[in-house]
């Protein structure tokens, strides 16, 4: 059903493709769009839409453009068991010209190493999937390894991570939209943002300009992380606005980003605070014997808990759950 919508938007796609080629920004780029959101718009606004799409796509090729300058891996702090950090004060760097209510999606061609580049889309309901996700197992992103660790939820260290999540644009086995990402990146880093954008679009019918850039250091095959920006269009960022960097990391696992090789670290065993929702990590937790919940030592719920109900525990998080304790929903230990 979604494909048929795309086909009916052929004219709009052609306009974008022609414009894209005309800018000399790379043959083979994958652009598709839908005119559904632009139905009834005047030729003047259609022209503005096209200019907005063009502006975003050109920017992918211009590392010297103002918005691309604002992000550098040099300014990202080392991973400290938190799934993401904000960038540029959490403000996205789109220009007004780039914000368009005309739905489209663009996935950069793979580079000479076979690595993904920026994926950008103006996402509206017309791009969202109407069917369950298909298989993506045929895609083998750079640095891919099938490796399992007991400390990783679901055991598999690596997932095929969509740059633009399936729930947003319905892309299945698109090699330009899938990178090798840790389970932690996929579930704790990216998914909450995708959920927020998807639910906003479903509720309001508005569009969200959404850009995800995998950040590779040098010639590494595995991305260090992903830079994610989004801004809601019709309400000028009132509903959705963020600019974050999510780490392609996994607590307790050391990754060689050049190759994708990995091994367990001894450090995680002694960590005092696991952070995030790393469901099988080790660390120090405070059990509330009254509620049967366990918390991070820093959880502020504990400030209102009687000392006699607190019990310190050091060890596997998994063991606590096996013993019937529940993780606190506030601090998400």
Residue position matching structure tokens 């997932």? 159
The single residue among 239, 251, 252, 260 that binds another protein, judged by CB under 8 A, is: 239
Residue 166: CB minimum distance to another protein, A: 15
Residue 254: CB minimum distance to another protein, A: 26
Q: Is 111 in the site for another protein (CB under 8 A)?
A: no
Q: Is 271 in the site for another protein (CB under 8 A)?
A: no
* Spatial contact of 179 and 108, defined as CB atoms under 8 Å apart: no
Residue 68: CB minimum distance to another protein, A: 21
**Complex with another protein: residue 159 or 262, whichever CB lies closer:** 159
Instruction: Name residues contacting another protein, limited to 27-86 (CB under 8 A).
Output: 84, 86
Residue 163: CB minimum distance to another protein, A: 17
* Spatial contact of 294 and 282, defined as CB atoms under 8 Å apart: no
Size of the site for another protein (CB under 8 A): 35
Q: Is 202 in the site for another protein (CB under 8 A)?
A: yes
DSSP 8-state code for residue 109: P
Give phi and psi for 125, each to the nearest 5: -55, -30
Q: Is 277 in the site for another protein (CB under 8 A)?
A: yes
Q: Tell me which long-range contacts 175-178 makes (C-beta under 8 A, separation of at least 24).
A: 175/110, 175/116, 175/139, 175/141, 176/30, 176/107, 176/108, 176/109, 176/110, 176/116, 176/117, 176/119, 177/107, 177/116, 177/119, 178/116, 178/136, 178/139, 178/141
Q: Is 305 in the site for another protein (CB under 8 A)?
A: yes
* Spatial contact of 294 and 328, defined as CB atoms under 8 Å apart: yes
**Complex with another protein: residue 133 or 145, whichever CB lies closer:** 133
The single residue among 74, 96, 306, 312 that binds another protein, judged by CB under 8 A, is: 306
- Rounded Cα distance, 255 and 144, in Å: 12
The tally of CA atoms less than 13 A away on the side-chain side of residue 260 is: 20
Q: Is 293 in the site for another protein (CB under 8 A)?
A: yes
Which residues, listed in sequence order, are joined to residue 212 by a DSSP beta bridge?
Answer: 119, 228
Q: Is 196 in the site for another protein (CB under 8 A)?
A: yes
The single residue among 184, 242, 294, 325 that binds another protein, judged by CB under 8 A, is: 242
Q: Is 200 in the site for another protein (CB under 8 A)?
A: yes
DSSP 8-state code for residue 206: -
Query: What does the binding site for another protein look like in residue numbers (CB under 8 A)?
Result: 84, 86, 90, 191-193, 195-196, 199-200, 202-203, 238-242, 244, 277, 288, 290-291, 293, 300-301, 303-306, 309, 328-332
């Amino acid at each position: 059903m979604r494909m048929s919508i795309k086909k009916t938007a052929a004219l709009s796609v052609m306009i974008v493709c022609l414009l894209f080629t005309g800018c000399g920004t790379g043959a083979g780029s994958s652009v598709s769009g839908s005119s559904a959101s632009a139905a009834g718009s005047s030729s003047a606004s259609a022209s503005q839409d096209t200019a907005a799409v063009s502006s975003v796509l050109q920017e992918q090729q211009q590392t010297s453009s103002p918005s691309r300058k604002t992000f550098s891996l040099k300014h990202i702090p080392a991973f400290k068991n938190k799934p993401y950090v904000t960038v540029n004060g959490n403000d996205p760097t789109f220009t007004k010209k780039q914000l368009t209510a005309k739905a489209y999606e663009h996935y950069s061609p793979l580079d000479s190493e076979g690595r993904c580049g920026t994926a950008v889309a103006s996402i509206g309901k017309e791009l969202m999937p109407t069917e369950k996700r298909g298989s993506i197992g045929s895609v083998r992103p750079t640095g891919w390894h099938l490796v399992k660790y007991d400390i990783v939820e679901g055991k598999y260290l690596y997932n095929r991570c969509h740059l633009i999540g399936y729930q947003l644009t319905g892309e299945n086995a698109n090699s330009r939209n899938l990178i090798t990402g840790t389970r932690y990146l996929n579930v704790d880093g990216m998914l909450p943002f995708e959920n927020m954008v998807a639910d906003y679009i479903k509720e309001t019918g508005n569009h969200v300009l959404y850009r995800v850039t995998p950040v590779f250091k040098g010639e590494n095959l595995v991305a260090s992380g992903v830079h994610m920006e989004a801004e809601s269009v019709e309400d000028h960022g009132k509903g959705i606005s963020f600019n974050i960097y999510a780490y392609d990391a996994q607590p307790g696992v050391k990754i060689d980003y050049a190759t994708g090789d990995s091994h367990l670290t001894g450090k995680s065993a002694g960590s005092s605070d696991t952070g995030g929702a790393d469901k099988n990590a080790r660390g120090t937790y405070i059990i509330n014997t009254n509620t049967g919940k366990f918390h991070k030592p820093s959880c502020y719920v504990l400030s209102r808990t009687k000392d006699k109900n607190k019990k310190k525990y050091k060890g596997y998080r998994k063991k606590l759950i096996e013993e019937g304790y529940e993780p606190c929903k506030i601090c998400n230990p």
